[in-house]
Amino acid sequence: MQRVAVVRFPGSNRDLDAVRAAERVGSEAYFVWHRDSDLQQADVVILPGGFSYGDYLRSGAIARFSPIMGAIQRHAAEGGAVIGICNGFQILCEAGLLPGALVRNARLSFVAKPVDLQVERTSTVFTNAFSSGDRVRVPVAHGDGRFVADAATLDRIEAEDCVVVRYLASGPGVEPNPNGSERNIAGICNAAGNVVGLMPHPENAVHPLQDSQTGQGFFDSMAAWQPLTARH
């Protein structure tokens, strides 16, 4: 059984959603406080959505200095799985675990609605249950969700196949890019595919009472991944 550590920062608000989504696929999920320095033998680390430290300075800019981040950086360097969702994605970028940055939405307003995505890369811990080109509908809820990077970095991300999901272009019945992200990027990964950042919230699209259940695939992928403890 996988051990999934969900990190709680002051201001996290999707932490319980992340725990429940992980439990739905049979994982042993538990909370880790941001002041801790031990991941308690986690196989997977989830940095959940919310407003860590009230998003003062910049989203994720203070949280990246929390003591737990040292353990997360070591975990990722050793090949452990890490996913940052929304505010968690912002924290991963601020900590240098992923390139680029998340800045104010193009229309300068908070957006909360389902959006349509296309899966680009399936060789990651969190997308291996999908086929390339699969379309999913997952909600977003953010004010600073526009992914930006300089042209050289964007070209490198593309060349290394590190775009995980993109927002779909406008069309009939399609909820398109909600924030103006460069190249419609909604999520990226590192080259190895063990560190993933997603701006949409798959943990809020896993239950029959929610608008969509297509977020389940991200957690099915996580459950199918062979954790480090099983590789030795």
Residues acting as catalytic residues: 86, 201, 203
**DSSP characters for 180-205?**
--GGGEEEEE-TTSSEEEESS-GGGS
Q: Tokens 């993109």 identify what position?
A: 166
Question: How many other β-carbons are positioned within 10 Å of the β-carbon of residue 84?
Answer: 29
Rounded to 5°, the CA angle 80-81-83 comes to: 145
Q: List all residues 6 or more positions away from 189 whose beta carbon is below 8 Å from its beta carbon.
A: 98, 121, 124, 162, 164, 195, 196, 197
Distance CA 26, CA 23 (A): 5
For residues 200 and 187, give the distance between their C-alpha atoms in angstroms, rounded to a whole number: 8
The answer to whether 34 and 63 are in contact (CB under 8 A) is yes
For residue 50, give the DSSP letter. Answer: B
